[in-house]
Amino acid sequence: MKIIRIDKTDWDSGLKKSADHYRLVGPTQEKDFFLYKPLKPGKAPDMSFSNTRLSAKGTIYPQSHTLFTYSLDPDQKDHHLLIEPENENPPTAVIGIRPCDAAAFVQVRRNFDAPDYQDPYWLNAYENTVLVGLACDQPGPACFCTSTGGGPYDGTALDLLLADNDNHYLAQVVSDKGAAFIEKAGWAGEVETDAAMQIFQARKAAAEDKIRSTVDTDHLADAGTMALYDAPFWEDVAFACINCGTCTFLCPTCWCFDIQDETHGMSGQRLRIWDSCMFPLFTRHGTGHNPRGEKVQRVRQRFMHKLKYYVDKYEAGVQCVGCGRCVLQCPVNIDIRKVCELMNNAGKQPVTCTA
């Protein structure tokens, strides 16, 4: 694997050159937290962040996305036509994305790029995006990425993996998209691979050693679906939930959406917007019937989807990258690690035949 040394004195100038070819998005401080935001010309990403409050999913899957506009007003140009936005996915580079957020795109892709349906909006944005990742040297107290198949130095879902090595970055070139970005930025200091990999390995071991939080997921597949569905612990798990939806909006692996038309007079737009399985309206039918009308049903759905249905459907682990955001931000301290333990323990119970 090719590894490039980027002196920090060359960092800003390289980003400036790359901005001629890419729309740059990067961590930006807002009050006491960070978000991934488009970088204004000449503004550098703030690489001092630990992790962002919202995940990077909105860089590919916007919280609100106009699918098309329309007008029935005969005085308007193109009236009675559905007009799709033009050039909405220019080449984009997400600078400093953490490995967990990049790994989430791999999980989410299974939904948006299925054999029988490919979502053109998500796929087009994903294909036009370069993920310039920053390895994580200071995992937070709620991070458990090593339990969900990833790690603070896991570059498999990235195009470039940067390690912050004092006065320079070492950049592993993971993909052709990453190589193209390096070329546009003009960073050319290739270093000897074995020596650089030793630095990566040492930093990786030190970072993983700081992860204090783990969950076991090895028996989730063994648990009977209906036994889990009917498990007695759901009332306790759901008791304090206020169905605020924070957990799902923060989560890089939650993908539910709604489609709504907004009309003003004779014109309007059709929007795809994030939705949440924690909201009562999410499943309410036109008849008024709601199959998940009770809070406990919605909380159970969130965890069953992430830790059972996804596990069984894709056989590729849980629908969670262990970023810890929902753990930290849930206002009533509902903790997916504890729920996972309950569900995994259920999978350890011997199946008894009552026939």
Using the minimum distance from each CB to ligand SF4, give the nearer residue, 126 or 187. Answer: 126
CB atoms within 10 A of CB 129: 24
Using the minimum distance from each CB to ligand SF4, give the nearer residue, 243 or 269. Answer: 243
Please name the helix (run of DSSP H) or strand (run of DSSP E) that holds residue 226, with its range, or none: helix 225-229
Using the minimum distance from each CB to ligand SF4, give the nearer residue, 3 or 158. Answer: 158
Beta strands in 210-333 (DSSP E): 257-264, 267-274
Give me the least distance between CB of 294 and ligand SF4, in Å please.
14
Give me the least distance between CB of 288 and ligand SF4, in Å please.
23
Phi, psi of 334 (to 5 degrees): -80, 130
Q: How, if at all, do strands 189-190 and 3-7 pair? A: antiparallel
DSSP string, 13-80: HHHHHHTTTSEEEEEEEETTEEEEEEPPTTPPP-TT-S--SS-GGGGTS-SEEEEEEEE--TTSTTTT
Give me the least distance between CB of 140 and ligand SF4, in Å please.
11
Q: Which residues contact ligand SF4 by CB under 6 A? A: 241-247, 250-253, 278, 306, 320-326, 330-332, 334, 336
Using the minimum distance from each CB to ligand SF4, give the nearer residue, 272 or 325. Answer: 325
Give me the least distance between CB of 80 and ligand SF4, in Å please.
42
Rounded to an integer, what distance in angstroms lies between the CA atom of residue 321 and that of residue 145? Answer: 6
Using the minimum distance from each CB to ligand SF4, give the nearer residue, 189 or 331. Answer: 331
Give me the least distance between CB of 8 and ligand SF4, in Å please.
30
